């Protein structure tokens, strides 16, 4: 097991999602029992968020602009006429728009992929932790009318709880978990001897994503946004059966009563 010194040494790698699963789980278990290391983690996350939101734009100084204009005049051997200057300006502006747009799109895609990779690692860690700690449920029940009310007052949203026992995925219960810096609902289903964790929390107003699936360290997981909610499902089931479970959940989304 790791101690405070180990946790501080590996904290940056842990927050950047660079550690292996076993080390990640050890650090999370230590942080859960150590207030000092938890504060260190929160402080580092706050710093990372501040750096991500800081403006890094730099305005070209007037003297540099004048130097560039002078270099252009020296190369062409003549002053730039207003009409030519306008054409060059429009051409440069169009190129800047294209380059900026391409860079923004690339950055946006990389940022989304990086975010999803980090969440995926956290989802795997939460799933493994629930199995290792034998803490699958806080409320153990196959009755969705028992499980859903249990979350009332514990979350700032009402999770959708569906009964899939008739389809071979009985509900085992639910628990509180922690993902994306917030408490989330974790519903637990089973398929024969396999356990499925279904995590959910509110999506941003503009968020929207179709089903995306992946595999990591022997686990299959998937995520999607629907009806203002983010869903992540994970299990050691084969992907075909996990997709079957996900489709059943998606078919029932919005019809929970």
Please tell me the predicted confidence (pLDDT) of residue 224.
Answer: 92
Task: To the nearest 10°, report the CA torsion of 189, 193, 194, 199.
Answer: 20
H-helix segments, the chain: 4-15, 21-33, 35-53, 62-76, 82-132, 144-150, 239-252
Higher-scoring residue by pLDDT: 88, 158: 158
- Give the residue-averaged pLDDT of 121-135: 85
Q: What distance lies between CA 143 and its chain's CA centroid?
A: 30
Q: Mean of the per-residue pLDDT values for the chain?
A: 80
Buried b / exposed e over 142-155, threshold 16 CB at 10 Å, is: eebeebbebbeeeb
- Are the beta carbons of 114 and 153 closer than 8 angstroms? no
Tokens 């360290």 correspond to 217
Residue 150's nearest CA partner among 182, 189, 176, 170 is: 176
Please tell me the predicted confidence (pLDDT) of residue 183.
Answer: 92
- Ramachandran class of 109: left when φ > 0, alpha when ψ lies in -120 to 50, beta otherwise: alpha
Please tell me the predicted confidence (pLDDT) of residue 81.
Answer: 57
Domains of the chain, start order? 4-52 (no CATH), 110-252 (3.30.200.100)
At residue 250 the predicted structure's pLDDT band, cuts being 50, 70 and 90, is very high
For the record, the structure tokens of 140 come out as 């153990």
Q: What is the pLDDT of residues 204-227, one digit of tens each?
A: 755 556 888 888 778 999 999 988
Residue 119's nearest CA partner among 221, 227, 239 is: 221
Q: What is the pLDDT of residues 26-83, one digit of tens each?
A: 888 888 888 888 888 887 777 666 666 545 445 667 777 777 777 777 766 665 555 5
Q: How much of the chain, in percent, has pLDDT values that exceed 70? A: 73
């Amino acid at each position: 097991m790791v101690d405070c010194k180990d946790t501080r040494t590996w904290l940056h790698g842990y927050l950047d999602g660079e550690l292996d699963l076993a080390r990640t789980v050890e650090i999370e278990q230590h942080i859960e029992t150590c207030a000092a290391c938890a504060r260190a983690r929160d402080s580092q996350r706050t710093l990372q968020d501040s750096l991500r939101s800081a403006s890094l734009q730099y305005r070209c100084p007037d003297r540099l602009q004048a130097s560039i204009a002078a270099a252009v005049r020296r190369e062409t051997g003549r002053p730039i006429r207003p009409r030519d200057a306008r054409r060059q300006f429009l051409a440069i502006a169009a190129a800047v728009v294209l380059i900026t747009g391409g860079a923004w799109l690339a950055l946006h895609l990389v940022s989304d992929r990086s975010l999803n990779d980090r969440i995926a690692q956290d989802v795997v860690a939460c799933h493994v932790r629930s199995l290792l700690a034998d803490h699958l449920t806080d409320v153990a029940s196959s009755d969705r009318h028992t499980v859903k009310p249990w979350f009332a007052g514990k979350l700032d949203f009402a999770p959708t709880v569906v009964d899939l026992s008739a389809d071979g995925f009985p509900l085992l219960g639910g628990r509180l978990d922690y993902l994306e810096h917030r408490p989330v609902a974790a519903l637990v289903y089973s398929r024969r001897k396999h356990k499925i964790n279904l995590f959910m929390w509110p999506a941003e107003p503009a968020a929207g994503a179709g089903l995306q699936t992946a595999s990591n360290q022997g686990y299959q997981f998937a995520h999607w946004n629907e009806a203002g909610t983010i869903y992540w499902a994970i299990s050691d089931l084969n992907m075909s059966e996990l997709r079957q479970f996900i489709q059943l959940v998606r078919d029932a989304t919005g019809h929970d009563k």
